[in-house]
Structure 1
Amino acid sequence: MPPRSTPSERQRRLGAELRKLRTRARLSGDDVAALLQADRSRVSHIEAGRVDVPRNGLYKLLRAYGCESGPLFDALMDMAHDRGKGWWDDYRDVMERRALDLAELESRATSVRVHEPSIIPGMLQTEGYARAVISNVEEDDQHLDRWVGFRLERQRVLAGLDKYHAVIHESALRTRVGDTKTMRRQLLKLIEVARLPHVTVQVFPFEMGPYSSHMRSFVLFGGPTPELDTLYREHPTAVDFIGDGSRIGECVRMFERLASLALAPLDPAAPPEAQEAQDSLSLLQHVLYELR
């Protein structure tokens, strides 16, 4: 089978992790080629995600690289032999490769931490809010319906996560997306979702200054092993899937700083007298009151 020209993010990430392990083990590409009884170019294709490695071949590589049995070993074996098929395949006719890669990444995540300075995070959006956001970039009604359907399908993973933590800037609560009814329903959904025991929603208020509002959004995806955590960032015309541990660590510390500066999390179950003078719930309720 010829090398694939457009590997998925999962395939690229697997290849990158194999390259890291090979480099750490101080093995050359020729060493690995001899181990696999293949030519040097095949090793390059494997590490670029352009070709797959057989199960027994991957087992040999991981052992040669000193990767012992455990979460990382199992996760890499699963990544290699995952067909990459899922509900997102039904949307290949309208969604770009990067959107399909994001859906696949979300399906493998066990935890999600998201910072959003301008809009409500996609995993928490109502259908009406999502439609209003997407209609700004897609005018074709048929495609719009499919795009909205794709976003709502992505939300299914929320129930299966161990932890979801969002820090949302106050500007996202106050930016009018759609009509007043759309915004009210969206803000009420934030309160509803916050009732889930594994979901934490915090609001970063204007009064804390520009620390958050001038930063880009980002998402930290956690999995079965820290080595495979992923930082996701969007740009106007592209996206980044980042697996570099040092860059992920920087964003983890940034997220922790944001969470420490943000208002206390939404807690719809707390009685009014137990709420702090100003917390995320009271600010959200104030914004709801002003929506008339």
Structure 2
Amino acid sequence: MPPRTAPSERQRRLGAELRKLRTRAGMSGDDASAVLDVERTRISHIEAGRVDVPRNGLHKLLRAYGCGEGGLFEGLMAMAHDRGKGWWDEHRGVIGPVARDLAELESRSTVLRLHEPLFIPGMLQTEGYARAVLSETEGDAQRAEPYVAFRIARQRALTADVPVTCRAIIHEAALRARIGGPQTMRRQLLRLIEVSRLPNVTVQIFPFEAGAYSAYSRTFAIFGGATPELDTVYLEHPVNSVFLRDGEHTGEYAKMFERLSGLALDAVDPASPPEAHEARDSLSLIQHVMYSL
């Protein structure tokens, strides 16, 4: 099979981690090719994500690179095992590669941390709100429809047999923006309260009075797994979105998220009695905005 020309984020990440481990071990590409008894170019293709490495071959490489049993070892083996097509691959040719990469990351993550200063995060959007947002970004309501359906389908990660733990911090500005009109916004705000009933979902609102840190931090998502070494940060941009894989960068964003959480209002707890909301919290703010629409 010829090398692929457009590897997925998972394939690129696996290759990048193998290159990092090989370099750290002081081994050359020729050394690695000898471990697998393949041509040198095969190692280059593996490290670029252009070809897959069999599980037994990956096991040999990890041992040769000094990567012992543990979270990193198991995480990399799992990434190689996930070679089968996921539901997102059914949308190839209609949905762009970045959206498909996000769906695959969400399906593999155990913890998803979302920070959104302008919009409700896609994982928590209603269909009407998603349609209003994507119709603007795509510039055409008809062209947006496949992306609306795909975005809603991605939310299955929240209710899977082993659901992802989702922590979302949303700026108050996103609650007050009239995306799609008052009725669409009321339904969207109600959705935030409803989804917070899931035991794996936490929603916090960052209020205006907490200052500018949320705007400074901008939109980002952290996809976390069994080990922080394999965390991925996603920075959305209308022209060229970025996936950050370097541990130093992902660690800084993790710290940023915790600071945002500390500045934000207490998380939404729909089960708490009314008297528990004497102090301003995320639920009372969402309800206040919803009733004022």
Provide the TM-score with structure 2 as the length reference: 0.95
Matched residues, percent identical?
A: 66
Residues 77-131 of structure 1: per-residue CA shift (max 9 Å, x gap): 2211322511112221321111111111111011101100000000000011011
**Within 1, Cα distance between the matches of 2:205 and 2:174?**
9
Q: 2:257 aligns with which of 246, 255, 260?
A: 255
How big is the shift at 1:190?
0.5
Moved more, 98-107 or 37-46: 37-46
Measured in 2, the distance between the counterparts of 1:183 and 1:241 equals: 30
1:288 aligns to what? 290
Name the counterpart of 1:98: 98
Is residue 18 from structure 1 mapped to residue 57 from structure 2 by the alignment? no
Q: Distance in 1 between matches of 2:172 and 2:116?
A: 10
Further displaced range: 245-254 or 16-25: 16-25
Alignment of 1:186-201 (within 5 A): 186-201=188-203
Residue in structure 1 matching 2:276, options 262, 267, 274: 274
Distance 1:85 1:142 in 2: 27
Report SS of the residue matched to 2:137. coil
Determine helix, strand or coil for the equivalent of 2:159.
helix
Note if 1:134 corresponds to 2:124.
Answer: no
Question: 1:236/1:138 Cα in 2 relative to 1: closer, same or farther (>3 Å)?
Answer: closer
Of 85-94 and 127-136, more deviation after overlay is shown by 85-94
More displaced, 20-29 or 245-254? Answer: 20-29
Contact kept, 8 Å, 1:114 with 1:218, in 2: the verdict is: yes
Instruction: Answer yes or no: is 1:223 the counterpart of 2:225.
Output: yes
Per the alignment, do residues 107 and 162 of structure 1 end up closer, same or farther by CA in structure 2, a change over 3 Å counting? closer
- Paired residue for 2:88? 88
Aligned match of 2:175: 173
| Residue 213 (structure 1) aligned to one of 198, 212, 215 | 215
Q: How far apart are 1:165 and its partner, in Å?
A: 0.6
1:170–1:203 CA contact under 8 A, matched in 2: yes
1:37-56 equivalence runs, <5 A: 37-56=37-56
The letter for the 2-side match of 1:169 is H
SS at structure 2 position matched to 1:136 = helix
Matched letter for residue 223 of structure 1: G
**Unaligned regions of 5+ residues in structure 1, if any?**
none
Q: Assess if the C-alpha contact under 8 Å between 1:115 and 1:217 holds in 2.
A: yes
Asked whether the 8 Å contact 2:229–2:247 carries over to 1, the reply is yes
Matched, 1:158 2:158: yes
Q: Quote how far apart the aligned CAs of 1:139 are.
A: 4.8
Q: Distance in 2 between matches of 1:290 and 1:190?
A: 16
2:217/2:256 contact within 8 Å kept: no
- 1:84–1:104 contact (8 Å) kept in structure 2: no
What is the CA-CA distance between 1:179 and the residue it aligns to? 1.6
Contact 2:45–2:51, Cα closer than 8 Å, also in 1: yes
Contact 2:157 2:164 in 1 (8 A): no
Aligned AA (1:148): V
Comparing 121-130 and 276-285, the one that deviates more: 276-285
What is the RMSD of the two structures over their aligned residues, measured on CA atoms? 1.5
- Supply the AA of the counterpart residue of 1:90: E
Give the CA deviation at 1:152.
0.5
Structure 1 CA distance for aligned equivalents of residues 241 and 142 of structure 2: 25
How far is the alpha carbon of 1:154 from its aligned partner?
Answer: 0.3
**Alignment partners' CA distance in 1, 2:225 and 2:3:** 28
Between the aligned partners of 1:90 and 1:144, the Cα distance in structure 2 is 17
Q: Which runs of 4+ in 1 moved over 4 A?
A: 139-142
Residue 34 of structure 1 and its aligned partner are, at CA, apart by 1.6
Give, in angstroms, the shift of residue 235 of structure 1: 0.9
Q: Cα deviations across residues 43-102 of structure 1 (Å, max 9, x unaligned)? A: 111111111222222111011111223332222122113225111122213211111111
Q: Distance in 2 between matches of 1:88 and 1:107?
A: 10
Length-normalised TM-score, structure 1:
0.95
